[in-house]
Chains A and B, each alone.
Chain A
Amino acid sequence: MTHPLLLGVRHHGPGSARAVRAALDAASPAAVLIEGPPEADALLPLAADDGMRPPVALLAHAADDPGRAAFWPFAEFSPEWTAIRWALPHGVPVRFIDLPAAHSLAMRQKETAGEPEEIPAESAHTAGEGAAPEDGGEETDIHGTAEAMRVDPIGALAQAAGYDDPERWWEDVVEHRTAREDDDSHAPFAAVAEAMAALRETYGHGGHGNDLVREAHMRLKLRAARKEFGDAVAVVCGAWHVPALARKTTMAADKALLKGLPKVKTEMTWVPWTHRRLSRHTGYGAGIDSPGWYAHLFSAPDRPVERWMTKVAGLLREEDHMVSSAHVIEAVRLAGTLAAMRGRPLAGLTETTDAVRAVLCDGSDVPLDLVRDRLVVGDVLGEVPEAAPAVPLQRDLARQQRSLRLKPEALEREADLDLRKETDAAKSRLLHRLNLLGIRWGEPTAGRSGTGTFRETWRLRWDPELAVRVAEAGVWGTTVLSAATAKVEARALEAAALADVTALAERCLLAALPDALPVVMRALADRAALDADVGHLAEALPALVRSLRYGDVRSTDTAALAEVASGLADRICVGLPPACTGLDADGAAAMRTSLDAVHGVIGLLPDAGRQTLRWAAVLRRLADRDTVPGVLRGRAVRLLLDDRRLADDEAARLMALALSAGTPPADAAAWIEGFVGGASGGGMLLIHDERLLGLVDAWLTGVPAEAFTDVLPLLRRTFSAYQPGVRRTLGELVRRGAPGAGGPGAAAHSGPHTPGFGPGLDETRADAVLPVLRLLLGTAEADGPNDNDLTTLRGVTR
């Protein structure tokens, strides 16, 4: 009698995959059974589709709650995938035999029921980790990520063999095994099964309680398959399960185990996957350290180390590292010798990495990181055919569109949202999230209602092409919220410029993605710490403070944001003075903008008291330093004066200093531009402070003729920005007499000669204003003006 062919594998093991293919070729079974959710049987033909390129994953999610989902990833080098791809062209039926996702999803829900709330994004992550086939006993075990109480079968075997690293042991004995012609293709499986049987005798189910149920289900399915196809069926499953499948049990006992399992309605589809997600670095925990390396081992026809080194050399050359063929030869030699010294049959990833570091990277880890990122993990992105069922993200979107009454229409229309209303706020959040996902359904436009923070205007238009975008965005998550969160996190980590991250933080608040915020803030703090350009920091601060205030409006927790903003301000205060020296005219102008921007927001910071004090000290240093361009010095004095941190006398002294004869005229003109230039009320300052006007006037008349043409453009730029009225008044003032001439400082306040005003107060004309003022102040209905009022009002008119 023939037994079913039990092929115990390690998920994502290229050696296992190769062995499975050889074993299937040799045995030609009548059917292939695979550890995986049976609901996916209907989706199997898609695996043979031309549009299907691994890595892909089977995705199961609860029909009513796309946030509750599980993934079964398959790479090109996964044994399960190899088995599917072998069976389909051979016309051999394939069945998944694991516990249905309907049960496993429901059971997980029961386990987590104790937790008060489940964040959807989080659940997608645990899904990848938990319910993937990896979820099954051995995967978590192989990688040693399981809880301590669970038995690590591979680890136990490796320990018995004297290896400290389970992964390396498995690589040595299984993955790196070179198949020989005369080998029995089933021999490795028999050996592994035997080892696992010994382990399970010792450890029982080893803490994987659910496994018993799953294995009972597998046995039932196996029994059914043998009835249907005869005994010549092959089973591809985790090595851990092999002894359980080989065991003799009664059908009744198995059925009893499966009784009364909770159940939810689930839906399944294929989704594209990436190598990055197969690697455990990314938090999915679904798998393996080095998918790129495994893919290479699987696809390389021979001499894997030589081919690998050539690939590495190619990558390094692309990145302008000098790597010659001689380097490659030496690297291969070193890797081989290292393996021999460590007593390994073939150079593994550790040896090749050591060799690449020592020979190709001059001992440096920097290019090595590149190799690790681009080759060892790799950038491979899977594809699924269009015929695959809709991704849950699509359903989630449709559901939200329904509940928010926001129909996708091809016709362009405008939507005016009042963020104080709950529905409108939800609509805004949805649109912002979609934008973050690259689904540009709505474009925010400048609304008719002005710039109030509680209004948003969107131009909505649903292109059919957006459906594709939704499908693409499916890799990020199963709900709009979780997908947007994941995408923002990824982008924050990738972003190169500080301003990009700040913008992202702002959008994060707009889209209400509180979970992404810590990651973005972290990235922001890191970029800020490493950015040596104060200009960038100064650019980033206003947006950040804006977000801070906006966050307050939307009652988001912004403590992290405040901390980062405050740190940014510290860095600006430290870095600004040195950055302001040695600038050319353009640089100074740019820095002036930064100066203004920072000044505008520094008082809005949470610890404003301390920050403004420091900031004032910084401005003071700028004002006093000769190497700082005139425009910045003037600006600093002006800002200090506006904040009343500088006495009028002191400002006048500094101005006199800047405009004194020793200063080159161009520099002095720049100072004036900084001090009173722009539309920031500088003109009014000159009108009202005689002394300052006098200083400017005296300086201007003292400029030698040949220098005058040089400073003219600067002066013109300074004064032409004033409003016409201000300009005219200034002109009149200057015409009326040189105020700077004979101690006008004292005269300015003494009445008779105040320029622009008549001598003394014209009481009757002043009184004519009173009725209007009374109206404005709301005292018109009083019994009549009493003396007190009148005095106050007179005071005002004066």
Chain B
Amino acid sequence: MSVSEAMPETMPDSACDDASDASDSAGPEALRPHAEQAFAHELSALAAADDRPRPVGWRLSPWAVATYLLGGALPDGTVITPKYVGPRRIVEVAVTTLATDRALLLLGVPGTAKTWVSEHLAAAVSGDSTLLVQGTAGTPEEAIRYGWNYAQLLAHGPSRDALVPSPVMRAMAEGMTARVEELTRIPADVQDTLITILSEKTLPVPELGEEVQAVRGFNLIATANDRDRGVNDLSSALRRRFNTVVLPLPASADDEVDIVARRVDQIGRSLDLPAAPEGLEEIRRVVTVFRELRDGVSADGRTKVKSPSGTLSTAEAISVVTGGLALSAHFGDGVLRPGDVAAGILGAVVRDPAADRVIWQEYLETVVRERDGWKDFYRACREVSA
């Protein structure tokens, strides 16, 4: 098992669901239960077995939180399934960061299980993963601080009752873990409202002449995308409040091929595309191209290549393959061929028409041309890039 297990469930849209159905989860069975519900038995078994010191406000000790994420077996025979399969170091640093009362920033390109990790961390530390702010370009200050119930406000004037607390405010008051998704998509001035919260651990409400002070146990996990364009970089003042952990891309090509194939299969089914088992070779090829350009070195480690400006994430590889699949199903013979993915790859790689095109052609000439069994692919690529 690998990170891929986490993949299907880490799509950013799932996070929105969490926010909306957080309050009334008592109704009919939810499409996707929260981590603390889905793994309730593991959490309680861990809590029972855990005899190590717990920081104030924590449901489990740091060691138990790490075990919850990385998996293991408890003395009473309960098997803890691994939630994140990647370097152990990353989880340890993340948990320890939360334990030292520092905010945690999870960085990584799309599809590296950032949201997944943050949800499970919150579930294990606070037993509640629903205190969530979804960051977008339109996220207002109220989503991080507090808003007003205007009917109340007009009727009774400013009062505690008229105040609508944000998830962050609630987490502060109750000593829980708050989560901010896609922090870098939030406009810079809104981001900076977090500075006071993280350094002073307090949220003033000047309208009431009050403040909400964070209770021990409060902390914040933010996720952000570090290779996207059009994001708002964190100010250094805010960045300083975070410990940063970068979640890596899948370590091996096989893992990544596996993730792509699985996800493509799911999407393909929902689009009623015919399954293309012979396409695995092409998937491997797409993944190889993406990995080589991303890593700046050919798979055999012998040739260096320049990296283009695009992200070339696993998510993009998935979309290239899905696009190719649609192309072959509707206009081709139903078999995924080099020509079907070539245009998609070109589009993903060449984001900057001047610089990236040179990089792409250099890559074609120096790496692809010489490779055994890649003749068709080389020709297809030359055709579309000419």
Contact = CB atoms under 8 A, between A and B. Distances in A.
Interface of A: 322, 324, 326-327, 330, 333-334, 337-338, 341-342, 350, 354-355, 357-359, 361-364, 525-526, 529-530, 532, 567, 570-571, 573-575, 578
B63 interface: yes
Contacts of B89: 350, 354
B306 A530 contact: yes
Given A529-B366, A530-B306, A363 B244 contact: yes
Contact of A338 (B92, B105, B246, B366): B92
A525 B304 contact: yes
Contacts of A573: 365
B240 A567 contact: no
A578 B89 CA distance: 45
A341 B89 CA distance: 12
Contact of A574 (B97, B236, B355, B362): B362
Nearest to B307: A530
Nearest to B296: A530
Contact of A575 (B97, B102, B362): B362
Contacts of B92: 338, 341-342, 354
Contacts of A526: 304
Interface string B279-308: 000000000000000001000000111100
Contacts of B362: 529, 570-571, 574-575
Output the residue of B96, B296, B355 with the most chain A CB within 10 A: B96
Contact of B102 (A334, A338, A525): A334
B380 interface: no
A529 B306 contact: yes
A333 B303 contact: no
A337 B239 contact: no
A362 B104 CA distance: 11
Given A570-B365, A571-B365, A324 B240 contact: yes
A530 B96 CA distance: 38
Contacts of A357: 93
Output the residue of A338, A342, A578 with the most chain B CB within 10 A: A338
B232 interface: no
A359 B243 contact: yes
Nearest to B239: A362
Nearest to A566: B366
B114 to A, nearest CB: 12
A528 to B, nearest CB: 8
A567 B366 CA distance: 6
Interface string B249-281: 000000000000000000000000000000000
Given A341-B96, A574-B365, A326 B63 contact: no
B202 to A, nearest CB: 18
Given A354-B93, A574-B365, A364 B306 contact: no
Given A330-B243, A341-B62, A525-B303, A358 B97 contact: yes
Contacts of B304: 525-526, 529-530
A149 B299 CA distance: 32
B366 A571 contact: yes
A190 B104 CA distance: 45
8 contacts: A326-B240, A330-B100, A341-B63, A359-B244, A529-B366, A574-B365, A578-B354, A578-B357
A337 B306 contact: no
B357 A358 contact: no
Output the residue of A334, A350, A364, A574 with the most chain B CB within 10 A: A574
A532 B100 contact: no
B66 to A, nearest CB: 7
Contacts of A567: 303, 366
A333 B100 CA distance: 7
Contact of A358 (B245, B305, B366): B245
Contacts of A578: 354, 357-358
A326 B236 CA distance: 13
B99 interface: yes
Interface string B85-97: 0000100110111
Nearest to A571: B362
B57 to A, nearest CB: 16
B100 A334 contact: yes
Nearest to A570: B365
A305 to B, nearest CB: 14
Contacts of A334: 93, 96-97, 100, 102, 243
Nearest to B353: A578
Nearest to A614: B365
A363 B89 CA distance: 12
A567 B358 CA distance: 15
